[in-house]
Amino acid sequence: MPKITVLPHTELCPQGAVIEAEAGTTICDALLKHDIDIDNACGGVCACTTCHVVVREGFKTLNEIDEDEDDMLDRAWGLTPQSRLSCQAILQATDVTVEIPKYSINLAKEGHH
């Protein structure tokens, strides 16, 4: 099974982690399954940017970004050329390294504060 190396994130995963997930799983699902509680405000339907991750290694091995994801990504905090919405990024057979950005933009949540 491919491995996902998760770089340390102060709140979600302070020590970093290496997890395994089956090919065909989205990165978001894999993280959640291993108690790395990445935001996924829209429930994984490509309608927010809270599940944004930066794929530091293995970016090219993932499925291609479609137009909807590309449009949403434009609004993500801290966008990089290796950014993906993790709920749309499907693991293939290759290991990847991901970084969860320090901030995410969750308009729904901000509205409640």
Compute how many other C-beta atoms are within 10 angstroms of the C-beta atom of residue 107: 11
Least distance in Å: CB of 50 to ligand FES?
Answer: 6
Q: Among residues 40 and 97, whose Cβ is nearest to ligand FES?
A: 40
Q: Among residues 44 and 95, whose Cβ is nearest to ligand FES?
A: 44
Least distance in Å: CB of 51 to ligand FES?
Answer: 3
Q: Could you give the 3-state DSSP secondary structure of residue 110?
A: helix
DSSP state letters, 11-46: TTBTT-EEEE--TT-BHHHHHHHTT-----TTSSSS
Least distance in Å: CB of 26 to ligand FES?
Answer: 8
Q: Among residues 17 and 41, whose Cβ is nearest to ligand FES?
A: 41
